[in-house]
């Protein structure tokens, strides 16, 4: 004989209370265990493209151990705004600390200079690094430059200075005595906008750099090295191009960078690289060692020009200390 279901309201109310109690216990356990174990934290390496969309590269953890296999990007430097930037979520080599020590703009404005006096008669080149600062790769690079007592010029993107980690990297770069140049704020495609629009972007970049580290750049590098006659007529800064293009943005291979340097370097050369690549530090170390072995000295861009008696003039494009495009 079947038992008749008891629809007593008190029984129903009791069942509902039991269910509510069970739900409360589940929610409490969820909160105690930790929300972050179930829901991934927001990605910090997301970048906004020129069209307003967001993107990021896959975030496989890497170390600073030398890697010689080529990593490839699909687009050149002048299309950086349409490419993914490498993530800052990387790990350092064992025993190596890459955490910056924040300094105030007042402390970084006067940068210490520990380099030996440069020799005017000696072969001289300048390393330049575009698209930084990067919270990890710039710091790796600074360690290599310090190891060899080398000063370089960093062409900074203003849009990169939204994160404190990158601001700290810039402050450390200034404190180490390196030269800071302006690579614009948003890395626009220069020939797709007017000269006035690009100049406004440059000034926005200059302000961002100054606010971050207390230094206002006196030289610029246009994205992709592009410029127009109108821009040369209006720009109030010297434009630094390059002699040696390592194409590190394309292959990220230290050996290829070194081979390109050997083929293209001359006295007075300006070397183009990027401090947003995972193998930049290793590439630069190989290149510095070769240059020193072959009796080159390495300086900043401004010191190179001064040593070679080349005046930096607004509206001129400098490919090296001896090759430049006069202002029209």
Catalytically active residues are 130, 274
Closest to 87 (Cα-Cα) out of 261, 278, 264:
278
Is-contact 179 300, C-beta < 8 A? yes
Contacts of 246 (CB under 8 A, 6+ apart): 256, 257, 260, 261, 271, 272, 273, 283
* DSSP SS3 for 279: coil
State the DSSP H helix or E strand holding residue 245, giving kind and residue range, or none if neither. Answer: strand 244-245
Distances (CA, A) of 110 to 147, 156, 191, 302, 307: 21, 18, 36, 16, 22
Closest to 209 (Cα-Cα) out of 156, 166, 168:
156
Closest to 181 (Cα-Cα) out of 242, 222, 147, 140:
222
- d(C-alpha 275, C-alpha 219), whole Å: 18
Closest to 308 (Cα-Cα) out of 258, 246, 266, 274:
266
Is-contact 234 314, C-beta < 8 A? no
Tokens 């520990």 label which residue?
Answer: 114
Query: Among the residues of the chain, which ranges form H helices?
Result: 9-33, 105-109, 137-147, 164-175, 195-213, 229-234, 248-251, 254-264, 280-293, 301-307
- d(C-alpha 56, C-alpha 275), whole Å: 17
């Amino acid at each position: 004989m079947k038992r008749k279901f008891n629809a007593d309201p008190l029984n129903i109310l009791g069942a509902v209370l039991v269910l509510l109690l069970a739900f409360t216990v589940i929610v409490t356990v969820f909160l105690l265990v930790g929300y972050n174990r179930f829901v991934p934290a927001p990605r910090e390496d997301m970048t906004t493209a020129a069209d307003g969309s967001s993107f990021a590269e896959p975030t496989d953890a890497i170390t600073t151990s030398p890697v010689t296999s080529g990593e490839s990007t699909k687009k050149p430097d002048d299309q950086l705004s349409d490419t993914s930037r490498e993530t800052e979520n990387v790990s350092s080599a064992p025993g190596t600390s890459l955490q910056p020590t924040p300094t105030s703009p007042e402390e970084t404005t006067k940068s210490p200079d520990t380099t030996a006096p440069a020799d005017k008669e000696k072969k001289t080149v300048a390393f330049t690094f575009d698209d930084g600062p990067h919270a990890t790769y710039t710091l790796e690079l600074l360690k290599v430059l310090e190891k060899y007592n080398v000063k370089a010029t960093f062409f900074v993107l203003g849009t990169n200075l939204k994160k404190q980690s990158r601001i700290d990297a810039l402050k450390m770069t200034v404190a180490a005595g390196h030269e800071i140049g302006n690579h614009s704020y948003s890395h626009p495609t220069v020939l797709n906008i007017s000269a006035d629009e690009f100049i406004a972007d440059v000034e926005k970049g200059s302000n961002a750099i100054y606010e971050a580290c207390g230094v206002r750049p006196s030289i610029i590098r246009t994205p992709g090295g592009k410029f127009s006659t109108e821009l040369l007529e209006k720009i109030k800064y010297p434009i630094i191009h390059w002699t040696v293009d390592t194409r590190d943005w394309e292959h990220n291979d230290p050996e290829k960078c070194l081979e390109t340097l050997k083929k293209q370097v001359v006295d007075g050369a300006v070397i183009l690289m990027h401090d947003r690549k995972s193998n930049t530090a290793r590439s630069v170390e190989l290149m510095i060692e070769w240059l020193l072995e072959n009796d080159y000295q390495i300086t900043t861009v401004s010191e190179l020009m001064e040593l070679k008696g080349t005046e930096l003039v607004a509206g001129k494009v400098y490919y090296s200390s001896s090759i430049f495009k006069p202002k029209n």
